[in-house]
Amino acid sequence: MASAPLRSCIGCRTVRPKAELVRVHAAQGGVVAVDLDGGPGRGAYLCPRRACVEQAVRRGEFSRHLKVALTSPGVDALQELIQERASRKVVSLLGLARRARKVVSGSGAVESAVKRHSARLVLIAADASSRSVGTIRALTARSGIACHTRLAKEELGAAVGGAPRSCVAVIDPHVAAAVLSVLAKIPAETEAGGSPRVEAIDPTSRAAPRRFGGDPAWE
């Protein structure tokens, strides 16, 4: 079996599988653009960590690696761009899952899927009330099913072809893995004390979110 292609992060210089990194490239107008799916032409790569984004911006690594004069992006602006691209990709994947009947939506249907252990991933709307999704959060925690807060209710509803939804559940392991792979590319913030906040997730099945720091893959 061929090994996965590797790339070096322009922030921390760590070599990692290309699929785990965020690809940036030069766009028209001399600005930095983000492409989560890869693409033609010269690109540079970043770890999904805010610290790496900060280092790359501070040292002016984008122009140097992309071999073109670029307007240096701000850290917050670049992180927001990565988040926007990730959200757009998640919406696309949910749309594909809906057409394949691999997703259920609405509190009742999602709760039922979690109880049956058919849910592989639960996405909760960022603007959902704690009352409407509290039971689902508790159930996913007990069952070890990955649960993420992403998109707004209107965005989740549009992604699955309906009215606003407070939550959706992906019931296909391959689609769940693809969504988790995209979510893993959103730069993690750094908590007080300098420990990065990340989640340990098994994208092919279920895993309970947990926090940890000091992992050499992220440091």
Number of Cβ within a 10 Å radius of residue 39: 10
Same domain, 107 and 176: yes
Q: Model confidence over 73-104: pLDDT tens digits?
A: 899 999 999 999 999 999 999 999 999 999 99
- The pLDDT-based confidence of 39 (bands split at 50, 70, 90) is confident
Strand locations in the chain (E):
6-8, 15-17, 22-27, 31-35, 44-46, 103-105, 121-124, 146-149, 167-170
Domain membership of residue 145 as a residue range: 86-183
> Are residue 131 and residue 175 in the same domain, yes or no?
yes
Residues contacting 189, CB < 8 A, separation 6+: 50, 196, 197
Produce one character per residue of 174-209: b if its CB has 16 or more CB atoms within 10 Å, e if not. Answer: ebbbbbbbbbbbbbbeeeeeeebebbebebeebebe
Instruction: Assign 35 a pLDDT band (cuts: 50, 70, 90).
Output: confident
Is residue 176 in a domain?
yes
Q: Tens digit of pLDDT for each residue in 46-61?
A: 999 999 999 999 999 9
In a domain, 152, yes or no: yes
Q: Is the pTM of this model over 0.75?
A: yes
Q: Quick one: average pLDDT of 107-135?
A: 94
Distance (Å, rounded) from C-alpha 56 to C-alpha 13?
10
Least confident of 92-101, 106-115, 158-167, 206-215: 206-215
101 and 36 inside one domain: no
Report the phi/psi class of residue 41: left, alpha or beta, with left for phi > 0 and alpha for psi in -120 to 50. Answer: left
Has residue 205 been placed in a domain?
Answer: no
pLDDT score for 156:
94
Band (pLDDT 50/70/90 cuts) for residue 66 is: very high
Q: Say if 21 falls within a structural domain.
A: yes
pLDDT tens digits for range 144-198: 999 999 899 999 999 999 899 999 999 999 999 999 999 999 887 533 333 333 3
CATH code of the domain containing 104: 3.30.1330.30
Statement to judge: residues 177 and 90 lie in one domain: yes
Name the band, by pLDDT with cuts 50, 70 and 90, for residue 41: confident
pLDDT on residue 165:
94
Residue 213 lies in a domain: no
Residues 112 and 160 both lie in one domain:
yes
3-class secondary-structure state, position 1: coil
Q: Residue 141: inside a domain, yes or no?
A: yes
Q: How many CB atoms lie within 10 A of CB 18?
A: 15
Average pLDDT, the chain: 83
Is residue 182 within 8 Å of 90, Cβ to Cβ?
yes
Q: What CATH number does the domain containing 62 carry?
A: 3.30.1230.10
Say how many domains are in the chain. Answer: 2
User: What per-residue string of b and e applies to 59-76 under the rule 16 or more CB within 10 Å gives b?
Assistant: eebbbebbeeebeebebe
